[in-house]
Amino acid sequence: MNQTPINGLFLGGLISYAAAGLFGLAAYQRRRATRIVFCLFACLGALLEGIASVAAILDANETLISIPSGVPLLQYTFRLDPVSCYFNLALAVVSLAVSVYSLGYLDGFDVRKPRGIFCFFYSLLLVSLTVVFTANNAFLFLIVWEVMALSAYFLVSFDHERDESRKAGILFFVMSHVGTGALIVGFLLLGTWARSFDFSAFHLIAATLTPIQQGSLFLLFFFGFGVKAGMIPVHIWLPAAHPAAPSNVSALMSAILIKTGIYGIIRIAFDLLGIPPLWCGLLVLTAGTASAILGVLYALIEPDLKRMLAYSTIENAGIILMALGGAMVFRSYGRPTLAAVALVACLFHIFNHAIFKSLLFLSAGAVVHATGSRNLERMGGLIRPMPLTALCFLVGAIAISGLPPLNGFVSEWLTYQALLGGFGSTPSLTRIVFPVAGSLLALTGALAATCFVRAFGIGFLALPRSSQAAHVHEAHPAMLAGMGTLALLCIGLGLGATLWLPILDPLTNQLLGVRMSSNLVVSGGLALSSGSAAGGTVAPAALVGALVLLALLPGVLCAIWWRRGRKIPGPTWDCGLPGLTEYNEYTATAFSKPLRMIFAALFQPRREIQTEFEVSAYYPISVRFESEVEPAFETHLYSPLKDRIMARASRFRTIQAGSIHAYLAYIFITLVVLLLFGVRS
């Protein structure tokens, strides 16, 4: 295919995003109708980017777009290769749905809020994400990486009247910069060795790097990108920032922003560093497993719906890293086909997670908007007033729990197959890692299902648990349209997985030189296989067909035997108490209590019960219950670290006197020192 249309579409998409932002900034406050234009521009941008990405992936050639900047070392070079475009496609799909949703969601904002500024940063985030995925120059990459972090910061702290949002914003800002610091060091090292800051130049010198160089660079980048990816233990910004942000931004952050970290790791491990040493892959696999398990455990006990989703993002980032680590290990052992299976699992889960997590965040946003609370214990019974939102959340919940036949199941199935394949194909000591990781993945999956039974069951079913939840209304049609699109995609990607996998061929070909779809899709496109002969198959669409056919059976049985018209509504058994109220219902805290006790070593739960009574303890007047779980990473890792840094930093307080003259002098001295340094070398 001719490259020019792809370039045109790509740049057109960027311009369209930018136009949306500027338009929103200029006109939003004045006329309400302008929101339609803002959303139209954002959707148009997403569509153009989406088309450009699909075209570039199918084209399978690299497209370079270079725009000179006039600044030395910096060039606006974009590389549209299959990997970049795949992430860009995920961004386009999610941003399309989120922008449509925003059309309704922005109406719910307080009119006094600077909505124009919100639109501006929202669009800026879209632009910077697009450029992060496509930048081909380290300087450009770092600049847009910063722009991305900054625009996300402003969006997170958009509700700045609330203490929580401000704190979350600062935490995100600090963690993000700690990560960026590592990235800057890494890129400078690579740049010195390659004598250029182009990614293409890094790729060329990859073969000349020693294992020690590769290893240390990998550690730097893994740390830097891991912060963004929400990997444990550098995840702490995620559960703070995601709930504080408006829900459409949370969706975008959780679905795409954390994927920039994953993108970075893939780019480094498979493209820029050659073949990193074996331990790098094992490190990624271990970090992924730990993130998956700990993420889902924290999600389980979280009463705040959006924080729960944020923890579940950590879990899914962990699953993605598990597959990625597997792929890296297999590549180190020189098993490209097996590595390709793991990589396909990883890439597929990246896309799937983007879809179902944005769906869940958008539905959570609709719920939070309707009930005015993020606390699960204040919801309940929403399935009747908000049937469509509930259905969307349920689809997302089934998908994220990895249950058939939706998309989450397919990517987890592929991950299992890759891990199982690893046992047979790697030398003795490392092979035991894979089945153990697989069994922990099973634990993660089952805990995720528990977590989402809790979220949906407590949040949407039975009786309303608060007066606000009793008087809610269905979400705005535009919001439903956004969610509905994503829900349909969850179903489509699950049932049509065999049709979707060929799109990953150019990616595995680029990164590993192998095309897998002909091995993975068998029986004339009906079933997925594990890539090796007789390894195992699964056919999601056929499963659904069989389920539907089998569902006729109970229907027929009932039709034959059951006397019609004997379906009587009646009250739920309430133990003889006068009427069932919301106080009889099981709470979210109670639901996760058994697991809180089983994993007490991790949670260190503390509870306090105070009872006031008159005659005896059996006749209480009031009971006060307090339960708390220790945030392990905050108390044991970050608080001591913060205290130590603050203690050291206070010694330098003297030089920061607040006098502008002194600061000018510092700048002057620094400049002189740097010049001297420059002259000497």
Partner 1 sequence: MIEMLAKSGFQLLLLLLVAPLISGIIKTMKARLQTRCGPNVLQPYRDLFKLLRKGMVIPDTASWIFSAAPYIVFVTAALVGLMTPMTATDAPLSLFGGVLAVVYLLALGRFFLALSGLDTGSSFGGLGSSREMTISAIAEPAMMLAIFTVALGANSTNLSEMARSAVSQSWRFLAPSQMLAFAALFIVIIAETGRIPVDNPATHLELTMIHEAMILEYSGPYLALIEWGASIKQLVLMTLLVNTFFPFGLSSDWSVSGLGLGLSFYLLKLLLLACCIVLVETTNAKMRLFRVPELLAVAFILGALALISTFLF
Residues 442-461, interacting with partner 1 (CB under 8 A): 442-443, 445-447, 449-450, 453-454, 456-458, 461
- Given candidates 109, 193, 279, 423, which one binds partner 1 under the rule CB under 8 A? 423
What is the rounded distance in angstroms from the CA atom of residue 530 to the CA atom of residue 534? Answer: 8
Q: Any alpha helices (H) in 106-229, and if so which ranges?
A: 115-134, 138-156, 163-194, 199-205, 211-229
Lookup: tokens for 81: 């290769």
Pairwise CA distance, residues 484 & 366, whole Å:
13
User: Rounded to whole angstroms, how far apart are CA atoms 406 and 410?
Assistant: 7
Using CB under 8 A, pick the residue from 8, 114, 424, 477 that binds partner 1: 424
143/580 with CB nearer partner 1: 580
* 367 and 379 Cβ atoms separated by less than 8 Å: yes
Query: Judged by CB, which is closer to partner 1: 59, or 585?
Result: 585
Structural contact between residues 611 and 620, judged by C-beta atoms closer than 8 angstroms: yes
Q: How far is the CB of 421 from partner 1 (least distance, A)?
A: 10
Identity of the residue, 429 or 617, whose beta carbon is nearer to partner 1 in the bound complex: 429
Of the residues 67, 73, 174, 432, which one makes contact with partner 1 according to CB under 8 A: 432
CB of residue 475 vs partner 1: minimum separation in angstroms? Answer: 18
Instruction: Tell me the H-state helices in 210-257.
Output: 211-229, 237-244, 247-252
Q: Could you say which residues in the range 143-202 bind partner 1, by CB under 8 A?
A: none
| Rounded-to-integer distance, Cα 242 and Cα 412, Å | 24
Q: Taking contact as CB under 8 A, which single stretch among the options 179-187, 215-223, 263-271, 432-440 is the one that binds partner 1?
A: 432-440
Those residues with Cβ within 8 angstroms of residue 75's Cβ, 6 or more apart along the chain or in another chain: 66, 67, 68, 69, 137, 139, 140, 198
The residue from 149, 217, 253, 420 that contacts partner 1 (CB under 8 A) is 420
Cβ closest to partner 1, residue 586 vs residue 663 = 586
CB of 628 to partner 1, least distance (A): 20
If one asks whether residue 625 binds partner 1 (CB under 8 A), the answer comes out as: no
Two tokens at 351? 């896309």
Tell me the closest approach of the beta carbon of residue 387 to partner 1, in angstroms.
8
Q: Does 123 bind partner 1 (CB under 8 A)?
A: no
Residue 536 CB, nearest approach to partner 1 (Å): 3
Contact residue for partner 1 among 178, 383, 481, 632 (CB under 8 A): 383
Nearest-5° Cα angle at 282, 172 to 352? 55
- Of the pair 117, 463, the CB lying nearest partner 1 is at 463
CA–CA gap between residue 96 and residue 485 (Å, rounded): 9
* Region 274-333 residues binding partner 1, contact defined as CB under 8 A: none
Task: Report if residue 403 touches partner 1, rule: CB under 8 A.
Answer: yes
* Per-position x/- string for 521-560, each x denoting binding to partner 1 as judged by CB under 8 A, each - no binding: --x--xx--x---xxxxxx--xx--xx--xx-xx--xx--
What does the block give as tokens for 61? 């050639």
Q: Which is nearer to partner 1, 567 or 648 (CB)?
A: 567
Question: Smallest distance from the beta carbon of 347 to partner 1, in angstroms?
Answer: 20
Minimum Å gap between C-beta 231 and partner 1 is 22
Considering the complex, state which of residue 33 and residue 601 has its C-beta at the smaller distance from partner 1: 601
Within 462-481, which residues bind partner 1 (CB under 8 A)?
A: 462-463
* Residue 471: Cβ-neighbour burial (10 angstroms; 0-12, 13-18, 19+): exposed
Contacts of 459 (CB under 8 A, 6+ apart): 305, 367, 376, 379, 380, 382, 393
Other Cβ atoms less than 10 A from the Cβ of 210: the count is 8
- Shortest reach from residue 378's CB to partner 1, in Å: 16
Instruction: Rule CB under 8 A: say whether 602 interacts with partner 1.
Output: no
Structure tokens at 301: 């006990």
**Given 431, 607, 636, 644, the residue binding partner 1 (CB under 8 A):** 431
Structure tokens at 503: 């799109």
Please state the closest distance from residue 375 (CB atom) to partner 1, in A. 17
CA distances from 176 to 153, 157, 234, 394, 519 (A): 10, 15, 10, 33, 40
Phi-psi label, residue 456: left if phi above 0, alpha if psi -120 to 50, beta otherwise: alpha
Please tell me what DSSP assigns to residue 268.
Answer: I
Task: Check: CB of residue 426 under 8 Å from CB of residue 342.
Answer: no
Identify whether the C-beta of residue 482 lies closer than 8 Å to the C-beta of residue 509.
no
CA distance 551 to 543: 12
Binding range to partner 1, per CB under 8 A, among 17-25, 206-214, 365-373, 416-424: 416-424
122 Cβ neighbours under 8 A, 6+ residues apart: 21, 24, 42, 102, 151, 155, 248, 249, 252
Nearer to partner 1, 439 or 611 (CB): 439
Which backbone phi and psi does 571 adopt, to 5 degrees?
-75, 155
Residues 322-381 that bind partner 1 (CB under 8 A): 381
Q: Please report, as residue ranges, which positions from 642 to 661 form the binding site for partner 1 (by CB under 8 A).
A: none
Nearer to partner 1, 171 or 367 (CB): 367
Closer to partner 1 by Cβ: residue 122 or 416: 416
CB of 582 to partner 1, least distance (A): 8
Task: Lay out the site mask for partner 1 across 558-597 (x = CB under 8 A, - = otherwise).
Answer: x--xxx--xxxxxxxxxx----x-x-xxxx--xxxxxx-x
CB of residue 517 to partner 1, shortest distance in Å: 18
Identity of the residue, 559 or 637, whose beta carbon is nearer to partner 1 in the bound complex? 559
Decide if residue 604 touches partner 1 (CB under 8 A): no
Residues 489-528 that bind partner 1 (CB under 8 A): 523, 526-527
The whole-angstrom separation of Cα 312 and Cα 316 is: 6
Task: Identify the residue among 63, 99, 165, 417 touching partner 1 (CB under 8 A).
Answer: 417
428 binds partner 1 (CB under 8 A): yes
Strand 63-68 relative to strand 606-613, pairing: unpaired
Q: Can you tell me which residue has the tokens 């993420």?
A: 295
CA atoms within 13 A on the CB side of 344: 36
For the CB of residue 486, give the shortest distance to partner 1 in the complex, in Å.
20
Our CB check for partner 1 shows the closer of 129 and 448 to be: 448
Give the dihedral sign, CA 11/12/17/21: positive
Closest CB to partner 1 among 215 and 385?
Answer: 385
C-alpha span between 505 and 343 (Å, rounded): 11
Count of residues near partner 1 by CB under 8 A: 86
Closer residue to partner 1, CB minimum distance, 193 or 423: 423
Q: Which of 61, 66, 208, 439 binds partner 1 (CB under 8 A)?
A: 439
Distance of CA 11 to the CA centre of its chain: 26
Which residue, 224 or 380, has its beta carbon nearer to partner 1? Answer: 380
Cβ distance to partner 1 smaller for residue 74 or 462: 462
In 3D space, the residue among 486, 606, 679 whose CA is nearest the CA of residue 100 turns out to be: 486
